[in-house]
């Protein structure tokens, strides 16, 4: 598939030189996979606490005039990991790094993108300002909940998606009686791109969010007269949106489901609810956030985005195009 050909195999790339990569404690395994693809050693980081519980970070590699990448998804505990990232960026800047790129596979604060109630903070904008103030000269992230958050950053930002990685999982299957369904019109464009990769029809729900745990889907726009639905979302935390959509699709006659997302947070008992849904054939997510062993259901598949992130890091370092990774033949960019 365009953009990821050759990225999914086990082969290593030629070593990338004059690059230094650090990882916080959020997802060291992903950082090691990325470094393995690049042929670069993951540089050591020491995180300690003062007696008053404040964090201290020390980078154990020379950063002077180096191209530094700091890998840290903002996964739970979000604020611990955010503070670690800020301190690592500040340390890299203080060590005279030529450039410091914050690699944030999961930018969880992208859900706080607008002032939709009186006297609330637009946290995504605040976090964007904090990252730049700390020393980030570039941001690399993936599948933000609200793409307009891109505009909150006043440094270059590369916003990737995992649609090709997710679609590859379904390649060569019999999908004749399948429809792709997005729970939200706001993400219908991404669902349409995913459906196009698999040559499937697409539909979308009309969703209203009442609270963090309560949503209403008033209608489904598009034909869902199929036996199987692939329900696609960007992030699954509580699962309230997905479970509401599944009930509506069952009422429309859909008998079997696959649920896919980029960011499988799976908090607040979400996986217990998934375990009870016997018509869900499989759940597919990526490794943008770590998944504890006790969350590994038999029908849950975790796909790695390390090859895609590694190739993007290489292109940033070499000054090559990143957007061309996602250009589909004869279709233009997504």
CB 190 within 8 A of CB 175: no
What is the chain's mean pLDDT, rounded? 90
Token pair 């995504």 is found at 124
144, pLDDT greater than 80:
yes
13, pLDDT greater than 60:
no
What angle separates helix 28-38 from helix 306-318, to the nearest 10 degrees?
Answer: 60
Token pair 């700091």 is found at 70
> What are the distances in angstroms from CA 112 to CA 71, 153, 289?
22, 14, 19
The mean pLDDT value for 305-312 works out to 98
Residue 80 φ/ψ, nearest 5 degrees: -60, -45
Torsion 328-231-240-106 (CA) sign: negative
pLDDT per residue as tens digits for the range 103-133: 999 999 998 777 777 888 888 999 999 999 9
Q: How confident is the model at residue 333 (pLDDT cuts 50, 70, 90)?
A: very low
Opening angle at CA 302, ends 36 and 287, nearest 5: 50
217, pLDDT greater than 80:
no
Which range, of 63-67, 75-79, 150-154, averages the lowest pLDDT?
150-154
Q: How far apart are CA 177 and CA 132, in angstroms?
A: 48
Which range, of 71-85, 106-120, 319-333, averages the lowest pLDDT?
319-333
297, pLDDT greater than 70:
yes
Token pair 């955010």 is found at 82
Percent of the chain scored above 90 by pLDDT? 73
Could you say which of 115, 207, 226, 295 is catalytic?
207
pLDDT at position 210 is 54
pLDDT at position 61 is 96
Other C-beta atoms closer than 10 Å to the C-beta of 137 total 17
Q: How far apart are CA 15 and CA 39, in angstroms?
A: 4
Q: What's the alpha-carbon Rg for the chain, to the nearest Å?
A: 20
Judged by DSSP in three states, 190 sits in helix
305, pLDDT greater than 60:
yes
The mean pLDDT value for 57-69 works out to 96
4, pLDDT greater than 50:
no
* Structural domains in the chain plus CATH codes: 19-161+306-326 (3.40.50.2020), 164-303 (3.40.50.2020)
The mean pLDDT value for 269-286 works out to 94
329, pLDDT greater than 90:
no
87, pLDDT greater than 80:
yes
Q: How confident is the model at residue 251 (pLDDT cuts 50, 70, 90)?
A: very high
Please indicate whether residue 308 or residue 2 has the higher confidence score (pLDDT): 308
8, pLDDT greater than 60:
no
Q: Which helix (H) or strand (E) holds 243?
A: helix 240-251
pLDDT at position 261 is 97
pLDDT at position 181 is 96
Q: How far apart are CA 50 and CA 319, in angstroms?
A: 40
16, pLDDT greater than 90:
no
Q: How confident is the model at residue 266 (pLDDT cuts 50, 70, 90)?
A: very high
Q: How confident is the model at residue 325 (pLDDT cuts 50, 70, 90)?
A: confident
pLDDT at position 6 is 39
295 among known catalytic residues: no
pLDDT at position 1 is 35
> What are the distances in angstroms from CA 164 to CA 187, 221, 303?
16, 24, 11
Q: What are 72's two structure tokens?
A: 């840290």
Helical H segments across 18-67, by residue range: 28-38
163, pLDDT greater than 70:
yes
pLDDT per residue as tens digits for the range 29-50: 999 999 999 999 999 999 999 9
CB 59 within 8 A of CB 43: yes
CB 227 within 8 A of CB 255: yes
């Amino acid at each position: 598939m365009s953009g990821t050909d050759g990225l999914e195999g086990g082969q290593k790339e030629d070593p990338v030189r004059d690059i230094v990569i650090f990882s916080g404690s959020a997802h060291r395994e992903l950082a090691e996979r990325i470094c393995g693809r690049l042929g670069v050693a993951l540089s050591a980081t020491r995180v300690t606490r003062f007696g008053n519980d404040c964090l201290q970070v020390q980078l154990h590699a020379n950063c002077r005039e180096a191209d530094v990448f700091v890998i840290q998804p903002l996964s739970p505990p979000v604020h611990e990991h955010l503070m670690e990232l800020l301190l690592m960026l500040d340390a890299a800047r203080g060590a005279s790094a030529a450039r410091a790129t914050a690699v944030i596979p999961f930018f969880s604060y992208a859900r706080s993108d607008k002032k939709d109630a009186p006297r609330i903070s637009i946290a995504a904008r605040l976090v964007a300002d904090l990252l730049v103030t700390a020393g980030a000269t570039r941001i690399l992230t993936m599948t933000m909940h609200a793409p307009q958050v891109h505009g909150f950053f006043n440094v270059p930002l590369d916003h990737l998606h995992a649609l090709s990685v997710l679609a590859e999982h379904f390649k060569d299957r019999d999908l004749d009686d399948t429809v792709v369904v997005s729970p939200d019109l706001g993400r219908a464009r991404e669902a349409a791109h995913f459906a196009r990769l698999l040559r499937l029809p697409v539909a979308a729900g009309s969703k209203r969010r009442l609270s963090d745990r309560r949503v209403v889907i008033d209608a489904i726009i598009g034909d869902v007269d199929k036996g199987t639905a692939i329900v696609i979302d960007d992030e699954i935390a509580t699962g309230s949106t997905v479970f509401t959509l599944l009930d509506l699709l069952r009422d429309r006659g859909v008998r079997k489901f696959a649920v896919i997302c980029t960011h499988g947070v799976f908090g607040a008992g979400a996986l217990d609810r998934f375990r009870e849904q016997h018509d869900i054939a499989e759940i597919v997510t990526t490794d943008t956030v770590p998944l504890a062993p006790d969350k590994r259901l038999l029908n849950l598949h975790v796909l790695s985005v390390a090859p895609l992130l590694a190739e993007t890091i290489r292109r940033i370092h070499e000054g090559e195009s990143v957007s061309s990774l996602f250009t589909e033949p004869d279709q233009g960019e997504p």
